[in-house]
Amino acid sequence: MNDKAFILNFKNQVKNTIQKYKLASKKDKILVAISGGKDSTTTLYLLKKFGYNVEALHIDLLMGKWSKQNLKNVKEFCKTNKIKLHIFSIRDEIGYSICYVKSVVQQKTKLRQCTICGIIRRNIINKKAREIRATKLATGHNLDDEAQTVIMNWMKGNPQLSINMGPVTGTIHDKKFVTRIKPLYFCREKDIRKYSELMKFPVLYQRCPCVFSATRHEIRNKLDELEKKNPNIKDNIVKNFLAIQPRLRKQESKGNLIYCDVCGEPSRNKTCNMCKIMGNIKK
Ligand code: AMP
Ligand code: ZN
């Protein structure tokens, strides 16, 4: 396939996902969470190109040179593409740098670095999406991420952890929770990279320098290896998961979502994970 055909094919794949799973309508105000990487930048670019009403949000994680370059890139990208960009610094939002939080919390709990960072990012992103009255929140998650997460959750012996995965969050209907969508859900990471390179997006291709999940890394490598023998392996894992997900969702009790007794944000527990993390720092 030549480059032109690849670009067209890639765009159509994303368009089909949006249509098939009814991820968004032209009435939606979509906030795209962008890290400065290829996946979220591609998500933002295509949603804008397809004519959706999009704005972007970037959290400056204040992780040295890496964060500075990401910030520069997202500013440049949004300026070029005339997209309104909301920037928030992690220190203004939680009072500390992300590396500080991770080092303190890791010593006191068993949480992994990526888990801590993910909880904090999701909390801030949801709050900001609500504040700017976004009706959808888009992220750059791709097929590789999803296949790895399905396997990781099964390995933890808890398929219920996967309940809110899928191209769109389905079980949480709450005025404080903005629906999350993943337009690149069926796109392979290597194809996103190729698309982003062909489009010459100003992005960093290195992974976050701070975090390293050994299990995810092993699963990623194994799936990449197995994919050489079975090119559909990642699609099969994800499609199989989507086929059983309605059953998992049915089992979920409707009353599971409550409000955190500390901050009032939607939570599955009395105290939300964000407040548990912050509590460990203040102790
Ligand atoms: P990750 O957990 O790093 O795989 O990121 C998942 C998604 O979260 C990305 O595809 C982005 O949409 C979003 N994201 C990650 N980092 C940031 C950031 N610093 N600011 C805004 N959104 C982010
Ligand atoms: Zn809370």
Best mutation site among 61, 121, 124, 216 for ligand 1 pocket (most ligand atoms within 8 Å of CB) = 121
Two tokens at 242?
A: 């989507």
Q: If you take atom 2 of ligand 1, which residue's CA is the nearest one?
A: 118
pLDDT of residue 245: 86
The ligand with the least distance to the CA atom of 277 is 2
C-alpha to C-alpha distance for 140 and 198, rounded to whole angstroms: 18
Q: If you take atom 16 of ligand 1, which residue's CA is the nearest one?
A: 35
In the chain, DSSP assigns E strands to: 29-33, 53-60, 85-89, 136-138, 180-181, 258-259, 266-267
How many residues make up the chain in this entry?
Answer: 283
Element (DSSP H or E) covering residue 26: none
pLDDT of residue 91: 94
Ligand 1 pocket by Cβ (under 6 Å):
33-35, 39-40, 57-59, 61, 118, 121, 139-141
pLDDT of residue 212: 66
Best mutation site among 35, 62, 193 for ligand 1 pocket (most ligand atoms within 8 Å of CB) = 35
Are 135 and 126 contacting, i.e. CB atoms less than 8 angstroms apart? no
C-alpha to C-alpha distance for 87 and 57, rounded to whole angstroms: 6
Distance in Å, CA 122 to ligand 1 centroid: 9
pLDDT of residue 158: 80
pLDDT of residue 225: 97
Write the single-letter amino acid at 203: V
pLDDT of residue 7: 98
Local confidence pLDDT in tens for the 283 residues of the chain? 899 999 999 999 999 999 999 999 999 999 999 999 999 999 999 999 999 999 999 999 999 999 999 999 999 999 999 999 999 999 999 998 888 888 888 888 878 888 888 899 999 999 999 999 999 999 999 999 999 999 998 898 887 788 888 999 866 677 888 999 999 999 999 999 999 999 999 999 988 877 666 788 899 999 999 999 999 999 999 999 999 888 887 776 555 678 999 999 988 889 999 999 999 887 7
Best mutation site among 39, 40, 217 for ligand 1 pocket (most ligand atoms within 8 Å of CB) = 40
Two tokens at 57?
A: 């949000």
Distance in Å, CA 198 to ligand 2 centroid: 42
Element (DSSP H or E) covering residue 183: none
Distance in Å, CA 259 to ligand 2 centroid: 8
Distance in Å, CA 35 to ligand 1 centroid: 5
Distance in Å, CA 126 to ligand 2 centroid: 13
Are 214 and 222 contacting, i.e. CB atoms less than 8 angstroms apart? no
Which numbered atom of ligand 1 lies nearest the CA of 39?
A: 10
Whole-Å CA distances, 46 to 183, 200, 232: 9, 14, 25
